Amino acid sequence: MGQSLILGLGELLWDCFPDEERPGGAPANFAYHAAQLGYQGGVLSRVGADERGTKLIHWLTQKGVRTDWIQRDPDHPTGTVTVDVSQPDHPQFIIHQNVAWDFMEVTPQWRGAVQSAVAVCFGTLAQRSPRSRETVQTLLAGEKSKRLVVYDINLRQSFYSREIVEESLRLANLVKFNDEEARVLHQLLGLSGATELAWCHYLLEHYSLEGVCVTRGARGCLIVDQTGWAEAPGIQVSVADTVGAGDAFTAAWIASRLAGWNVTKQADFANRVGALVASLPGAMPPVAEKYGELLRQFGQK
């Protein structure tokens, strides 16, 4: 896949499971999986000037993720999320507020990072605070004509609004959401009656997008772009937990688009990657070797 830079922009935190704490946050998960796929994966986020922040940076660095743009906040703690996995295929999250990633700042270093990237992925959650929302939108304004700007919607708790979702859709050229989020978006954007495929075409046209992806968990996915559309059926796996599987899927989708694959191949590859990560515990399992095997099967390496 080469050493092109792919960035995750937004929340970086500890997922606090009943038995342990694991590094997490969708943009960090995404950057990690981009790195496992052979890209330079980097994170644009903010952690506290505390032990948790230092540990996060060290952990990601050890895993081959670029951490040199991560900001340290002297006034706010590193983010944490309490994860309830009593239902493994439907984890519940309590996302604590007023933490470092709510206070991300635009800097010349961050502008330079975005300008040197082939793709940047962001979501809705990191825009819950006015400061970080302004940072995300300022950094990404006008970038979709120069690189892949990916909006992985990731609706969490009540941390979203129609305004934020619409602004984000306009910033992006690719958008991804799951089937549960699709139902929320239908209501949020005031749409009704359309089939999933027709609705994806509406989003493509209305927000000047290049591609729309709907993930359906065990039922696979749908990808629609300007060339056509493709569905991939679900892959049966024994689910360890689904934390991070969607972010791995997104990284695989972006990698396959950058490789110039058609939508059928994109859907199949991303589906395989998402299922693989769902079968392993945690958001960032070691999968570089398995990704290498998959890429060879798909004729990439």
pLDDT tens per residue across span 167-224: 999 999 999 999 999 989 988 998 766 788 999 999 999 999 999 999 998 889 999 9
224 DSSP assignment:
E
pLDDT band at 99 (very low <50, low <70, confident <90, very high): very high
Count of H helices and E strands in the chain?
10, 15
Q: Is the pLDDT of residue 132 over 90?
A: yes
Question: Residue 234 class from Cβ within 10 Å (0-12 exposed, 13-18 middle, 19+ buried)?
Answer: middle
- Provide the 3-class DSSP secondary structure of residue 258: helix
Cα separation, 198 vs 131, in Å, equals 35
Q: Are residues 148 and 5 in contact, defined by beta-carbon separation less than 8 angstroms?
A: no
Fold of 5-297: UDP-N-acetylmuramoyl-L-alanine:D-glutamate ligase (3.40.1190)
Q: Are residues 11 and 101 in contact, defined by beta-carbon separation less than 8 angstroms?
A: yes
- Give pTM, 2 decimals: 0.93
Per-residue model confidence (pLDDT) at position 191: 77
Q: Is the pLDDT of residue 15 over 90?
A: no
242 Cβ contact partners less than 8 Å away, ≥ 6 residues apart: 88, 89, 90, 91, 217, 278
Which tokens is 268 given? 């199949």
